[in-house]
Structures are given as C-alpha cells and as structure tokens.
Amino acid sequence: MIFHILLLPFLYTLALAGVAHQARQAPVAPGSLQQVTDFGDNPSNVGMFIYVPNNLASSPGIVVAIHYCSGTAEAYFTGSPYATLAETHGFIVIYPESPYEGTCWDVSSSSTLTANGGGNSNSIANMVAWTTENYKADTKKVFVTGTSSGAMMTNVMAATYPSLFTAATVYSGVPAGCFVSEADIPAAWNSTCAQGQSITTPEHWAAIAEAMAEPGYSGSRPRMQIYHGGVDETLLPPNYNETCKQWSGVFGYNFDEPASVDVGADETTTVYGDDVVGIFAPGVGHSVQVRGDADMQWFGFV
C-alpha cells in the first residue's frame, strides 16, 4: 500500500508528460507543402503551411514567404521559387495564409501594427517560433519576403518583430504603417496610401516603424531589399520612395545622398547603405518577378 501511494505522483507525472507529448504536433513530413494547425497562439486565425525540404540542413534557416491579395499559401508555394531553392540550400519555408475574404493581409489595424498585439503579425511570428523550436533552426538565418499585400506584411513583420529576422525582401509594397485604418479595421483598404499620396520624411516613417516594436527596443533590425515597378497601377510608384525613406531613416542613412546609384537598361539599383537597397524597374507594373537567386544572395545562403 505504501509503495502504491509513493508511486502515484510518479505515474501522474508520466501521464501529464504523455498528454503534453500528444498535444505537441510532430514535425511534418518533408518534400511537400503541409499544413500545421497547432503551432501555438493564433489570435487572428492565420493559416500556417510549411515546406520542409528533403535536403534539410542540420541547423536550417527559415524563409517566411507571404502571398498577395487573392492568393493562397498553395499559390505562392507553386508560383514562387522558394521551395525549389529550399532543396538546394536546406532551409524551411513558411507560407502563411490570410484568413480574410479576398485574402489580403491585415496591415491596417492596431493589433497587427503592434508587437504581440494579437493580429496577423503576431500569428506569423508564432509560426516562426514553432518552426525554430521543432527544427532547431538557426535564429540568425530567419528571413521574410512577400509580394503586394504580402510585401506590405513583410514591412510590418520587419517593423513589429525586428529581432526575429535577419533580412527581408519586399516586392511591390508600401511602408509599414502606411495602410493604417483610422477606424482600426483589420485588412482595410487605404486609397490614400495605395495611390502614393502618403508622403512624409524619412524620420517620420522611421518613427512609425520603430513604434511598432516592443517598447524600448534598441537591438538589430533586418536588412531591407525593396523592389517596385515604375508603372504599378495598384500600389503607385511613390510608395517605392516612401518605403526606401522608411528603412533609410531606421538605419540612419541619408535618403537624399545614397551610397551608390546604378542606372541600368531595365532598372535602377540604389544602395542607401549596407542594410538598405532599392531596385526600381521603370517599365514594370505591379507584378514584379520574384528574384529567387538575388534573394538567396541577400539572405546570405550563397
């Protein structure tokens, strides 16, 4: 009887451990796009899809690849080169999926524009945390990229969780905070910003981005590479300059005196400093092609 009484706490501990083990979702099978439904707190009901390569590195990097309006995780998985590049470089790709009708991202509400605020950005950050834990990922090799609405969310992720990412690539977006909704509506459209009419100084844009992170944050921030087309009719071209202003301001670069400007036949590359580069393509519309190989260089995989 005494033995049984002494054994009960031990058995109870084992039972709890078993429940915890069952509750924690096992890492997904490699080589195909898989959904993860239990990655932790998901306050805004964002879908998490993940691609783990067959050729997984021992301490892999992570690329968060965020789709455009009307897109899905599956569409960005098949329409962008990151899964193929993952097999070459051994990193994991996270493809978030918007929960809203029309599948634009919430880059307008106070919840998503605030670190740990309970919005889309919070859910995506928790996906990174789950992946890092389950795959022992290299926290110095976590990157984020996206197209259109996904590019807007890329800027928001870089602003709200600067310590989480090492670098980012933005394809046809707007500055973080530009789409803010005065009515605090998630995934609201902001015509003033979209039409390129939200114009301010680098210092002001920087202050907007910096206010999104945890109070008092003074650590590292992701290197930013910004692409935009000169005949973009969805998010008009002035948004390119305003985005470059924002990140130049964050890093303390002089927007009006960049380190270098290379004018090519099809695009102009402006280096504001080691951490901010802009690529402007005068004859390209809203659908700027994803430059997978260039991203690999920017992210440091090659």
**What pLDDT, on the 0 to 100 scale, is given for residue 4?**
41
Look up the pTM and report it: 0.91
By C-alpha distance, which of 295, 297, 265, 283 is closest to 147? 295
Consecutive 10-residue runs of the chain (302 residues): their mean pLDDT? Answer: 39 36 60 97 98 97 98 98 98 98 98 98 98 98 98 98 98 98 97 98 98 97 98 98 98 98 98 98 97 98 96
**What pLDDT, on the 0 to 100 scale, is given for residue 26?**
52
Q: How far apart are CA 244 and CA 107, in angstroms?
A: 18
Q: Where are the domains of the chain?
A: 32-299
**What pLDDT, on the 0 to 100 scale, is given for residue 205?**
98
Give the angle subtended at the CA of 170 by the CAs of 206 and 132, to the nearest 5°.
Answer: 95
Q: How far apart are CA 227 and CA 267, in angstroms?
A: 10
Asked if 283 and 268 touch (Cβ cutoff 8 Å), the reply is no
148 is catalytic: yes
Which residue out of 148, 149, 198, 248 is catalytically annotated? 148
- The CATH number of the structural domain formed by 32-299 is 3.40.50.1820
**What pLDDT, on the 0 to 100 scale, is given for residue 27?**
79
Q: Sort strands 33-36 and 260-263 into parallel, antiparallel or unpaired.
A: unpaired
* Cα dihedral 94, 30, 291, 88 in deg (nearest 10): 140
By C-alpha distance, which of 117, 134, 61, 70 is closest to 92? 61
Residue 184 CB-half CA count within 13 A:
5
Asked if 280 and 241 touch (Cβ cutoff 8 Å), the reply is no
Write out the two tokens for 151: 């590019």
